[in-house]
């Protein structure tokens, strides 16, 4: 007589049913974790750009501007660029000659692109209020914002509620921080 070891059909069906029940609870939680991770990553990238602009203004001793790529004021989800704003007009101007980032007697003679940030992934919005930050954020050589008003940027996902969104809060001198949750999302 052979001694056979294995699972019966009933044992196998019970195991599959338990696995299905566990997956029913785990998958929505995992999906929410992915959304929260993406919101955090995008908020951190925007904060990094703000810190880059501020630190480069201090390091170079000139105005550095962060300009949105969108054609619509207050909408930053299309990306942004950080550049040395040699003439302080908050617009990127390159005279078209090589080399880029030319200087005259140690001072920039043309705007110098430091970094371009791509658009946010589909389904994400990054908006600001109707402050002076609706089109650009500029820092003077001391690292202070050239605007004396603070503002809050709202980073939202179309798949998350407002309590899961992120706020990038910029105070009146230009320091930024991230907070979870906003009062409104587009």
Q: Please say if the pLDDT value at position 117 is more than 90.
A: yes
Rounded to whole angstroms, how far apart are CA atoms 94 and 88?
13
Q: Higher-confidence residue: 57 or 23?
A: 57
What pLDDT does 43 receive?
Answer: 93
123 within 8 A of 159, measured Cβ to Cβ: yes
Question: What percent of the chain is helix, strand and coil (3-state, nearest 5)?
Answer: 30, 25, 45
Other residues' Cβ atoms within 10 Å of the Cβ of residue 85: 26
Location of structure tokens 């207050």? 74
- Pairing mode, if any, of strands 176-180 and 107-108? unpaired
Two structure tokens written together for 182: 């906003």
> 0.85 cut: is pTM over it?
no
Kindly report the average pLDDT of the chain as a whole number: 84
Q: How many CA atoms lie less than 13 Å away from 69 in the CB half-sphere?
A: 13
Taking only the tens place, the pLDDT of each residue in 2-38 is: 666 777 888 888 989 888 888 777 666 677 778 888 8
Q: What is the pLDDT of residue 130?
A: 66
The two structure tokens encoding residue 92: 């990127």
Token readout for 61 is: 């001793």
pLDDT for 57 equals: 94
CATH node for 11-180: 3.55.40.10
Q: What is the pLDDT of residues 68-105, one digit of tens each?
A: 998 888 899 999 999 998 888 888 877 666 566 766 76
Dihedral, 47, 50, 56, 61 alpha carbons, nearest 10: -150
């Amino acid at each position: 007589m052979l001694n056979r070891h294995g699972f019966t059909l009933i044992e196998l069906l019970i195991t599959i049913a338990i696995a299905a029940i566990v997956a029913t609870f785990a998958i929505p939680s995992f999906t929410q974790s992915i959304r929260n991770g993406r919101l955090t990553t995008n908020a951190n990238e925007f904060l990094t750009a703000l810190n880059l602009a501020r630190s480069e203004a201090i390091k170079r001793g000139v105005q550095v501007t962060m300009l949105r790529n969108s054609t619509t004021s207050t909408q930053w989800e299309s990306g942004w660029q950080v550049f040395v704003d040699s003439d302080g007009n908050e617009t990127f101007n390159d005279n078209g000659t090589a080399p880029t980032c030319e200087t005259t007697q140690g001072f920039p003679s043309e705007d110098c692109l430091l970094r371009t940030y791509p658009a946010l992934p589909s389904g994400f919005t990054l908006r600001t209020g109707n402050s002076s930050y609706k089109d650009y954020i500029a820092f003077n050589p001391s690292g202070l914002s050239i605007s004396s008003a603070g503002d809050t940027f709202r980073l939202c996902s179309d798949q998350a509620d407002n309590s899961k969104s992120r706020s990038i809060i910029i105070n009146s001198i230009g320091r930024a921080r991230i907070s979870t949750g906003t009062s409104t999302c587009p």
